[in-house]
Amino acid sequence: MKEILQRIHAESKHASAHGSVASYIPALASARPEALGLAAVTAEGKIFAVGDARTRFTIQSISKVFALAYVMTELGEDAVFSRVGKEPTGDPFNSIIRLETSAGRKPFNPLINAGAIVVSGLMPGFSPEDKGARFRAFVGQLIGRKDVERDEAVYLSEKGTAARNRSIAWFLKELDLLPGEVEETLDVYFRQCAVSVDAVDLARAAAVLCLDGIDPVRGERVLEARTARVCKSLMVTCGMYDGSGEFAVDVGIPAKSGVGGGIMAAVRDRMGLGVYGPALDDRGNSAAGLDALRRLSEELDLRVL
């Protein structure tokens, strides 16, 4: 497995040249565009990592999967899906148009910004700091680390440049979908997006999903099976922004990306995969990460669809 990852890492690095790092959050612009890390955690609990797999980066939209799992665990499935749908949009992740034009008058799914902000508003806790700390503790259970941190610079950068997310949140408030104050809810959302991980962490979490809630490294259940299955289903249909359909056809693995350059992918009963490549394509997905996952899927016959 290590040799396969090393070869695909070498073959996929060139794809970074076809992307660029995110700059709409200023603190993300300092990432090395040529960086690429690949990690895999097998169903037997073996960990493999190559390249920049131990480079820390912010989780960004991948946090939406963890937030969904967290709120479902704490409050139940109905608490989420009474306010958020389960359908793909085909629109960019930060689009606002569907909130106004859809008959349901609620976000289409929890993996677009509008839906994720609603989920963030449901997190238990007494303050944004407390809610953020509880969320990080939950992420730590999934990835096997107790020292999960927030990148303060990215958090403050995102908080200071989030005009579109503020527009979305105020619209959600008008629709009576946010139980708390708008700015406090957004603060929780910015904190969750700024959680710092590496590709191995993502592979660890993906391995939990691939085994329907069992951590293969520790041999313990850390997530309910139903919660893991809901997350994976939404990752298939909505996890790669408006490129989700193409990814499902080309790669065929449940996956979730983030503009920090990460991709988390879960191969049922076989392995979890984590990718870091901060040069993004025009949809916000890691250019080299997409290339590597396509190659891995073909090489190892990982397709589950």
Task: Round to whole Å and give the CA distance between 231 and 265.
Answer: 11
Q: Which of 81-85, 97-101, 121-125, 237-241 has the lowest mean pLDDT?
A: 97-101
Q: pLDDT band at residue 63, thresholds of 50, 70 and 90?
A: very high
Residues tagged active-site: 61, 64, 189, 241, 259
The answer to whether 92 and 83 are in contact (CB under 8 A) is: no
The CA R_g of the chain, rounded to the nearest whole Å, is 18
Domain layout of the chain by residue ranges: 2-60+196-300, 61-193
The answer to whether 195 and 260 are in contact (CB under 8 A) is: no
Intra-chain end-to-end CA distance of the chain, in Å: 22
Amino acid 292: pLDDT: 97
Task: Round to whole Å and give the CA distance between 290 and 236.
Answer: 14
**CATH code for the part of the protein at 61-193:** 3.40.710.10
Instruction: Report in angstroms the alpha-carbon separations of 17 from 6, 21, 170.
Output: 19, 10, 38
Task: Round to whole Å and give the CA distance between 238 and 294.
Answer: 18
Instruction: Report in angstroms the alpha-carbon separations of 129 from 126, 183, 216, 289.
Output: 8, 13, 31, 32
pLDDT in tens, 12-21: 999 998 899 9
Amino acid 160: pLDDT: 92
Q: Per the structure block, which two tokens stand in for 185?
A: 């809810």
pLDDT in tens, 166-192: 999 999 998 899 988 999 999 999 999
61-193 has the same fold as 2-60+196-300: yes
Under CATH, what is the fold of the domain 2-60+196-300?
A: Beta-lactamase (3.40.710)
**Mean pLDDT across the chain, nearest whole number?**
93
The set of residues, in sequence order, having a beta carbon less than 8 Å from that of 103 and lying 6+ positions away, is none
Closest CA to 303 of 261, 258, 262, 249: 249
Q: pLDDT band at residue 94, thresholds of 50, 70 and 90?
A: low
Q: What pTM was computed for the model?
A: 0.95
**Helix-, strand-, coil-residue percentages of the chain, each rounded to 5:** 50, 15, 35
